[in-house]
Amino acid sequence: MIELRGIIEVADNGHTVVELVVTENRSDKYKRHRMGVDIKLNRGKIITFLAFVYGVPPGDIVWPEHIELKTGAL
């Protein structure tokens, strides 16, 4: 089960770096993936990215209810 646990956006000299925090199987093991720089985020992009990274169908990516995108574009 691949579950998104957090989205981190950090300003870096005029650019915005996006990283995702993900758990794989156990709730206490976290992995951090750099998704890219200056990405306009939406839910589909994140799910597609994680599905590609883990080689699973997009439907297998779990998006917890409490995670909201800053733009509100879910």
Please give the residue ranges that form the binding site for another protein (CB under 8 A). 5-14, 19, 21, 23, 27-30, 32, 64, 66-70
* Number of other CB atoms surrounding residue 32 within 10 Å: 11
Give whichever of 12 and 40 is closer to another protein, judged by the CB atom. 12
Structure tokens at 70: 């800053």
| Shortest Å, Cβ 66 to another protein | 5
Rounded to a whole number of angstroms, the minimum distance from the CB of residue 28 to another protein is 6
How many CB atoms are closer than 10 A to CB 47?
Answer: 19
Q: Rank residues 42 and 57 by Cβ distance to another protein and give the closer one.
A: 42
How many Cβ atoms sit within 10 Å of the Cβ of residue 5?
16
